[in-house]
A = this chain, B = another copy of it.
Amino acid sequence: MIATSMGKQLRMRRVFRRGKALVLPLDHPIYFGPQPGNENPADLLALAREHGATAVLLTAGALRTALAEVGDLGIIMRVDTTITEIGGPDTVMHLLHTAEEAAALGADMVVVNCYIGIGDIAVESALLEKMADVSAECEQIGMPFCGEIIPRVSYKDPARTMPASADLAMAIRLGLEYGCDLVKTVYNGDPEGYAKAVAAGRLPVIMAGGPKSSDELAIFRQVHEALANGACGVAVGRRVWGSSKPESTLKALHALVFEGASADEAIATYIQGRT
């Protein structure tokens, strides 16, 4: 942890447990609208709280419907958004709150999204400037700042479905350079390259879970690999609340993050679970 102020350090502990984080994001409706499984934020907070998550990632608006279920969960507040899926791509963004407003609303950490390599200079510059602005504000008020920095290489070249490790190294290191305390980004399936990217970033990195896939078990192998190669946690949303067995998925992720489970052990936990 390299947080530069006492306030940042003290708030960071609300998101991590023993240096690890298991985050349930539920901010997807700002782009996709409500989806099966994420209709009720309170249900998702109860799920997260009861099955070992350390934090949730959501908007202040969703949070206020779920206060009764928040328990000890850390609050990673999303302070930016984009136009919706029916409006266009998710790269043109704006702020919902300043970091100061997020603090007043009870955030333990603030997160913004930043896509790189998207092939539109003006849009990409605006995304980076947003990240810089919020980072500077967070520094002043002792608020931990997470950059969700995603190389969206497929935007420029649809043939590329996954960022190269060099792209991830760029993303993670950008977090360091921009004053982030944490970077959330994808795992690309290249263990060695990913390990180098994380090492060169010199920041805590949590793996973004990504969209559902046809292989329900893939997430456990990916998470295991990411953790084994430097990630200090995961943020899995759609593949938890969108799963046919959300509780079992979360328990299996908990086993990976906190209990040193192998991918097979996690999969066994998932399969044995009933819900």
User: Which of A's residues lie within 8 Å of B, judged by CB?
Assistant: 2, 4-11, 13-14, 27, 29-30, 32-34, 39-41, 59-65, 67, 70-72, 75, 81-89, 92-98, 101, 103-106, 116-119, 121-122, 124-125, 128-129, 132, 135-136, 139-142, 151, 153, 166-167, 169-170, 173-180, 197, 199-202
Contact = CB atoms under 8 A, between A and B. Distances in A.
A224 B124 CA distance: 40
A75 B30 contact: no
B151 A86 contact: yes
A30 B96 contact: no
A172 to B, nearest CB: 8
Contacts of A5: 4-6, 104-105
A272 to B, nearest CB: 31
B33 A173 contact: yes
A265 B9 CA distance: 39
Contact of A177 (B30, B169, B173): B30
A178 B79 CA distance: 10
Given A61-B176, A65-B176, 15 more contacts: A4-B64, A5-B105, A6-B105, A7-B104, A7-B106, A30-B174, A32-B170, A84-B116, A84-B128, A86-B153, A89-B121, A92-B122, A92-B125, A98-B136, A103-B142
B177 A124 contact: no
A186 to B, nearest CB: 15
